[in-house]
Amino acid sequence: MKTYFVGGEPEEIGEFAGRHVLAEFSGVAAELLDDVEFLCESLERALRKAGATVREVTSTRFDPQGVTVVALLSESHASIHSYPERGSVFVDVFTCGRRADPELAVQLLQDMLGATAARTSTIHRGQDTR
């Protein structure tokens, strides 16, 4: 395993293991789920607070409603797919290595969206030696 420095912090590269968190939130205000800027900023803030290194965030707003946001991470990726007409959203956060905490990112995002209900599952991927 090699150690690289990203932003002054040592980062382990090459560990073939990670956690993939899949979530569904409901009870979210429709106006939040149709606000591209809010969703991009919220996803990026949640990921950074959870220790992920955000490289790029891109988004698309659909007509008549709905937003998809995708974040490219040094550790892997994250996405949001919103359904304002249902007050619901799908969230996907996958991080390799041990630096970032995808469960924390999902919890922070749930709080930021004010979701009244959530279903989450975590899949352990790769060869985790912990």
Of the candidates 42, 76, 82, 88, the residue annotated as catalytic is 76
**Residue 99 and residue 12: Cα distance in Å, rounded?**
8
| Active site annotation includes 81 | yes
Beta strands of the chain (E only): which ranges?
A: 2-6, 9-13, 17-26, 54-61, 67-73, 76-83, 88-96, 117-126
Of the candidates 20, 74, 88, 96, the residue annotated as catalytic is 96
**The length of the chain, given as a count of residues:** 130
Of the candidates 81, 82, 88, 121, the residue annotated as catalytic is 81
| Active site annotation includes 76 | yes
For the chain, the maximum distance between any two Cα atoms, rounded to a whole number of angstroms, is: 48
Distance, CA of 114 to chain centre: 16
User: Omega of the bond prior to 64 within 30 degrees of 0, cis?
Assistant: yes
| Active site annotation includes 42 | no
Active-site residue list: 76, 81, 96
